[in-house]
Structure 1
Amino acid sequence: MNSDIYQHYRKEEAPFIDQVYSWLEQVESTYAPLISKFLTPREASIIEQIVNGQDEVKLILKGGYEGAERQRALLFPLYYQFEEADLQLAYLEVKFPVKFAEITHGKILGTLLGTGIERDRIGDIITDGNDWQIIVDATMVEYLKAQVDKIGNVGVRLIEITSADLLRSQEEWEVINVIASSLRLDTLLAKIYHISRQRAKEAIQAGLVKVNFMQMERTDVMIGEEDIVSLRRFGRFRIRAIEGMTKKENYRLSVEVLKV
């Protein structure tokens, strides 16, 4: 492994980079495919960048449907014939009295994590506004069906479905063009959500901000392409592209903002 690779990434991303190289070594030494946990968009971007430079290993990223946010990576040797079953994806529908009760993304996720499984065993949680479905590691299906009979104070059943039964997610990302003086986290929060920079700093310090799904307490961290930033009660955004600089040396950005 080229140690210079680390200079292109954040310090906190080094353990994941090490993990990717460990996976590559395993695939090359065993001549067998390897399936990853569910990856965040940033992790998927990193593994894609690293594997694209390899000659002996191929990569497929899938999360169950087109545009899935959390995806699993399948690494495999060149000769291997990929099959969908290799991705070990399963699909659960949450059955509950829709007319008389309401559940939310946060309550579903909290309940699943409350069973003791790790976040990276769970893919996207999707809804059409009424019904809810969950994409999970296939090895977790029977365990979750046995463990989850209530979400909040609502009685539920988890029913296994197929990928053909998946709903169309109602998440809407709006693309906006932003001119920013810096790629600092506090600067971008202030610019995109139309709040003061001081308020942005206070939100970060209060633990209300996550970068790539990890709580971030540094106000000066630099945000790059494909990073996902969330501010509690405001929503999420990600930089699609850094399109250049203006004459005044400001950044010209294409940003996707999740409507809430």
Structure 2
Amino acid sequence: MSVIYQHFRPEEKEFIDQVTSWQQYVENTYSEKLTDFLNPREQYILRSIIGENNEIKYIFFGGTENCERKRALIFPEYLQPSNEDFQITLYEIEYPKKFLNLDHRMVLGSLMSIGLKREKYGDIIINGDRIQFFLATEVEQFVTIQLNQIGKAKVSVSKLDLKNAIISDEDWKEKETTASSLRLDVILAAAFNISRQKAQLLIQQGHAKVNWETVERTAFECDEGDVLSARGHGRCCLLSIQGKTKKDKLRIKLGLLK
């Protein structure tokens, strides 16, 4: 196991152990294991550990093909899973749209305040004044009873078929660029077209996050699957590291959300 740990961050050890235990469970029982919703970095770790050539397979699904947060189904190769096996439910929030504007932060805050961990919720999708969210089916009864207010507004939720999911009006774009290293300040500067000094200041002031956690170390090493954000500049995902240029710079692909 120590060989596996050295490829990842020290704080990811607990999740690595969890993935390994899921893999062993499937190997020992010949039955599938369904995870909670995983963020892109966790999906990358799971892919790296389970690999592509084992008798143990995995598929990710978050409710639609475009979801950022996804549940993983780990299963023996003889099984043929379907989307129903992921046990994901879609809900739309009904609220007084004429009098109220709700945003992602307010919706997530209210979902978290009812006492469930973030891993039970998938993406929150907003398009105009319509708001939907994906949910682990095993907790839907609890959520539908508890979620009746966002901010000061009374709300209700209605269950929809997954095929009725709206498309987010967030505008993600892919960008291929080069970077001298995988340091957080370097990647933020490359992603958002700002100076490295400006990126360092944002990090030192606590305005930068990696995988939704504030990071104040400019030399923090980013890796594939990391979701980065800088206050006032947007969000990006380090999609892939594609080798080096002749000048020894790293070629990287980013997903950008402004």
The answer, yes or no, to whether TM exceeds 0.5 is yes
Map of 1:223 onto structure 2: 222
In the TM superposition, what whole-angstrom CA distance separates every residue of 1:192-231 from its partner, at most 9, and x where no partner exists? 3233433322322333222122222222112223221111
Q: SS of the counterpart of 2:99? A: coil
Map of 2:241 onto structure 1: 242
CA spacing shift, 1:169–1:186, aligned 2, 3 Å: same
Map of 1:49 onto structure 2: 48
Deviates more, 1:77-86 or 1:11-20: 77-86
- TM-superposed CA distance for 1:11, in Å, is 2.1
- TM-superposed CA distance for 1:40, in Å, is 0.5
Q: SS of the counterpart of 1:8? A: coil
Deviates more, 1:59-68 or 1:24-33: 24-33
1:95 paired to 2:101: no
- TM-superposed CA distance for 1:81, in Å, is 4.0
TM-score, normalised to structure 2's length?
0.92
Map of 1:147 onto structure 2: 146
Counterparts of 1:43-192 in structure 2, within 5 Å, are: 43-53=42-52, 55-192=54-191
**CA distance in 2 between partners of 1:176 and 1:31 (Å):** 41
- Aligned-pair identity in percent equals 40
Q: Give structure 2 stretches of 5+ with no counterpart.
A: none
1:5 paired to 2:17: no
**CA distance in 2 between partners of 1:251 and 1:53 (Å):** 25
**CA distance in 2 between partners of 1:98 and 1:158 (Å):** 14
Letter in 2 for 1:77: P
- TM-superposed CA distance for 1:122, in Å, is 0.6
Letter in 2 for 1:236: R
- TM-superposed CA distance for 1:249, in Å, is 2.8
Cα RMSD of the aligned pairs, angstroms, is 1.9
Q: Give structure 1 stretches of 5+ with no counterpart.
A: none
- TM-superposed CA distance for 1:146, in Å, is 1.1
In the TM superposition, what whole-angstrom CA distance separates every residue of 1:227-258 from its partner, at most 9, and x where no partner exists? 21111232111223333434433333332211
1:194 paired to 2:164: no
Q: 1:35, 1:74 within 8 Å by CA — same for their partners in 2? A: yes
TM-score, normalised to structure 1's length?
0.91
Q: SS of the counterpart of 1:48? A: helix
1:24 paired to 2:23: yes
